[in-house]
Amino acid sequence: MVTVDRAADAWFDAMARWCAVTPQGWYLERGEALALVTGVRNPSLNLAVSTSSVPRASALEEAALRVRGYGLPWSIMVRGDASDAIGELASWYGLTRRVARPFMTCPVAGSALRFDGEWRTRIRATGPAESSTLTGVLADGFGLRTDSFGSLMGGDVLGTHGFTGYLAEKGGLPVATGFTMRDGDAAGVFTIAVLRWARSHGLGRAVAAKMLADAFAAGAKTAYLHPSAMARPLFESMGLCLAETWTAFTSH
């Protein structure tokens, strides 16, 4: 059985590996803290994060200073609730918005990977040659500028062992995307995005189901993710359960 601590550690490891291979990325580990920088102008993708289930503000100080130094939107995140001292550290950097981040997990035996057969043959794994297409769909799906995710999927990302990008197509056009990072017995689900005009047809579920099915077939015993508030009911219906609630601090 994969514990929540193992799933959390897998998330930290996956993010560090992602930052190591994306062209504008960088990471630093100092004790129980990680500085994670992808180079993307998104606060959830540039973080000072505590890996401890009992986070300490003093352990985060260097990571926070280093991530802030990149001049990108960023955040501080910890497992569980945040102490007053961590809140004060975040406030000192102007990160005054406090956000609960559900962390969900699902063992392979508890998953419900149902998806419409119409999409079964229209969702496929991608490689480095399609990184720009995947990135474009990701940005459009989130309603952002095409360059909003920069080189997040560039470089060696889609060629790294255990990292898999997905594209779903309709009428020959890419309409949805997703990204998984698998490390041994745990697999993370990231960046599922569906173009607005293609929504409400089960495509988000289909992409998630394909990603999870492939990860489990490759040997993962559990999956984990941080869902958006909108996507959480979908993942609950697929067998994922709340394991912990993490706390993030951002500037807006």
pLDDT in tens, 155-180: 999 999 999 999 999 888 899 999 99
Residue 247 · residue 99 · CB < 8 Å: yes
Quick check: 115 pLDDT over 60? no
Quick check: 101 pLDDT over 70? yes
Quick check: 234 pLDDT over 80? yes
What pLDDT does 118 receive?
57
What pLDDT does 106 receive?
87
pLDDT (mean) for 3-30: 95
CB atoms within 10 A of CB 236: 16
pTM of this prediction?
A: 0.93
What pLDDT does 121 receive?
55
CATH class of 108-243: alpha beta
Sign, CA dihedral 141-80-46-181, equals negative
pLDDT (mean) for 239-251: 95
Q: Residues spanned by CATH 3.40.630.30 within the chain? A: 108-243
What is the band of 114 on the pLDDT scale with cuts at 50, 70, 90? low
In 75-207, DSSP assigns E strands to 75-78, 97-107, 123-126, 163-170, 173-183, 186-194
Q: How far apart are CA 122 and CA 168, in angstroms?
A: 5
pLDDT (mean) for 203-230: 91
Q: How far apart are CA 100 and CA 228, in angstroms?
A: 10
Quick check: 238 pLDDT over 90? no
What pLDDT does 109 receive?
67
CA 118 to chain centre: 27
Angle between helices 84-92 and 57-68 (to 10 degrees): 20
pLDDT in tens, 34-81: 999 999 999 999 999 999 999 999 999 999 999 999 999 999 999 999
pLDDT in tens, 138-158: 999 998 887 788 899 999 999
What is the band of 201 on the pLDDT scale with cuts at 50, 70, 90? confident
Q: How far apart are CA 177 and CA 133, in angstroms?
A: 9
